[in-house]
Amino acid sequence: MWRSCVQGKTLRLCLIAALVLFGLQACLSAPQTLHLQAQAPQSLASPVLLSDVGFFPQEDFQCGPAALATVLTFNQVEVTPEELVSQVYIPARRGSLQIEMLATARRYGRLPYVLSGTLEKLLMEVAAGQPVLVMQNLGLSRWPQWHYAVAVGFDLAENTITLRSGTRKEYVMPMAVFERTWARAGHWSVVVLQPGHMPVDADEATYFQTLADFELSHAGASALAGWHAGVQRWPGSSLMAIGLSNQLYAQGLQQDAANVLIDFLTLETGSAVAHNNLAWLMFELGEPERAMTYAQRAALLDPAFAQTPIELHSKISSGK
C-alpha cells in the first residue's frame, strides 16, 4: 500500500481537522482508549516521556525518512533522513511504503518488529523506553492523509500521547484522537531493535518471522544474537531452537548446532523435526549410532521422516 506524508502546514491543518472531526465522537470511536481508562495496567500508571529520543523535523512529504531516522538513531545507527530518502521515499507518490521502511531498517542491521495493533502494547514499549514508529491517517477514508510519526510518551491521567510528528518535537495529542487516526491506518506500529533485544510482550511466531526475514540479509553474529535471545525467552520453543541451530550450522558450527537441539530435547521430547535435524548433525559429527537413534525417533514421531533412517543407514554402510 502506498503511503504519503503531508507537508508541515498541511500537517497542522490536518491535525486541527482531526481534532475537530474526531473529538466529538472519540468516546464512541476509541474503544482501546476507553478500555485503558477503565483498567490500565500498573506499568502504564505513571506518565512517560522519552526526552532523549532524537528529532528530525520533516517537510515536503518526507515524514517516512524522518520517522525512520528517529528510531534508528535511538538504536545506535548513525543516519540522517537525507540518507534514507533514496531508500524509502517515492517522489511520484509523495510518500514511503511500509515494506520499504521495514526493509531499510533491516539494511541498517536492526530488527523491525511489527506490533500486534493494540494501544496497550504500543504504550508498554514506550514505558519500557522504546520509541514506536506509527502510521496515521489524518484525513478520512475517502481522502486519506497518510503520516508517519514516532510515539515517545503518554499520560493516561490526561489521556494524551506525545509524538515526534512533522515539525513538532513534542506533539501532545488526545489519546482518543490518536487511536482514531491510527485505526484508519490499520493500527500499524513498529519497534526497531538491536539484535538480541526484543519487545516487552513479544509474540513467539512474530518474533520468529522477524528474525527469519532479518537473517536473509544479516547472517552471522547479528542473527545469532537474535536467536539466542529467542531461546532465552522461549526455552521450550522448537521454532527458536531450530532457528538457532540452523544459523549455527550455516556458520559451520555443527557441534554447537547439535548442542542446542540436545538441550531443547531435554525440555520437549516430542519434536520430530529436532530429532531429524539432530540425526543428520550426529552423522556429520562422526557418531552414526547416535544418528540412527535420533532418526528412528523422528520416524516414530512423524511418518514424514520414515525415509531418514534408511538414507542414513545407506550412507553409513557406504562410508560416505
Q: Is 70 exceeded by the pLDDT of residue 12?
A: no
Q: Which helix (H) or strand (E) holds 17?
A: helix 8-23
| DSSP per residue, 108-171 | TT-EEEEP-S-HHHHHHHHHTT--EEEEEE-S-SSS--EEEEEEEEEETTTTEEEEEETTEEEE
113-166: pLDDT as tens digits: 999 999 999 999 999 999 999 999 988 767 778 899 999 999 999 999 999 999
What is the grid cell recorded at 134?
A: 506509527
pLDDT at position 139 is: 83
Give yes or no for residue 25 having a pLDDT over 80: no
What pLDDT, in 10s, does the model give residues 227-265?
999 999 999 999 999 999 999 999 999 999 999 999 999
pLDDT at 43 over 60: yes
Query: 72 to each of 109, 154, 197, 265, how far by Cα in Å?
Result: 10, 21, 14, 38
Domains of the chain and CATH, by start: 8-193 (3.90.70.10), 204-318 (1.25.40.10)
Q: Enter the DSSP assignment of 304.
A: G
145 burial via Cβ count (<10 Å: 0-12, 13-18, 19+) = buried
Q: What pLDDT is recorded for position 271?
A: 97
The rounded percent of the chain whose pLDDT value lies above 70 is: 87
DSSP code of residue 55: -
Q: Which residues contact 286 (CB under 8 A, 6 or more apart)?
A: none
**CA-based R_g, the chain, Å:** 24
Per the prediction, the chain carries an average pLDDT of 89
Is residue 200 a contact partner of residue 124, using CB atoms and an 8 Å limit? yes
Mean pLDDT of 45-56: 97
The predicted model gives 18-37 an average pLDDT of 69
Closest CA to 240 of 224, 256, 251: 224
Do 113 and 190 contact (CB within 8 A), yes or no? yes
pLDDT at position 96 is: 67
> In the structure, what pLDDT confidence band is assigned to residue 290 with cuts at 50, 70 and 90?
very high
Classify the C-alpha dihedral 29-156-74-227 as positive or negative. negative
148 close to 190: Cβ distance less than 8 angstroms:
no
Query: Mean pLDDT highest for which of 36-45, 127-136, 217-226, 307-316?
Result: 127-136
pTM of the model: 0.87
Instruction: Report d(CA 228, CA 208) in Å as an integer.
Output: 12
Q: Measure the CA–CA gap between 110 and 219, rounded to whole angstroms.
A: 12
Burial status of residue 293 (CB atoms within 10 A of its CB: 0-12, 13-18, 19 or more): middle
Q: What is the pLDDT of residue 1?
A: 46
Does residue 84 contact residue 121 with C-beta atoms inside 8 Å? no
Q: What confidence tens digit (pLDDT) does each residue in 173-226 have?
A: 999 999 999 999 999 999 999 999 999 999 999 999 999 999 998 878 999 999
In Å, how far are 77, 79, 91, 102, 268 from 182, measured between CA atoms? 27, 26, 24, 18, 41
Beta-bridged to residue 164, according to DSSP, are 150
Q: Say yes or no to pLDDT of 88 above 70.
A: yes
Q: What is the pLDDT of residue 24?
A: 45
Q: DSSP letters of 183-212?
A: HTTTT-EEEEE-BTB--TT--HHHHHHHHH
| pLDDT at site 4 | 53
Q: Residue 76: exposed, middle, or buried by beta-carbon count in 10 A (0-12, 13-18, 19+)?
A: exposed
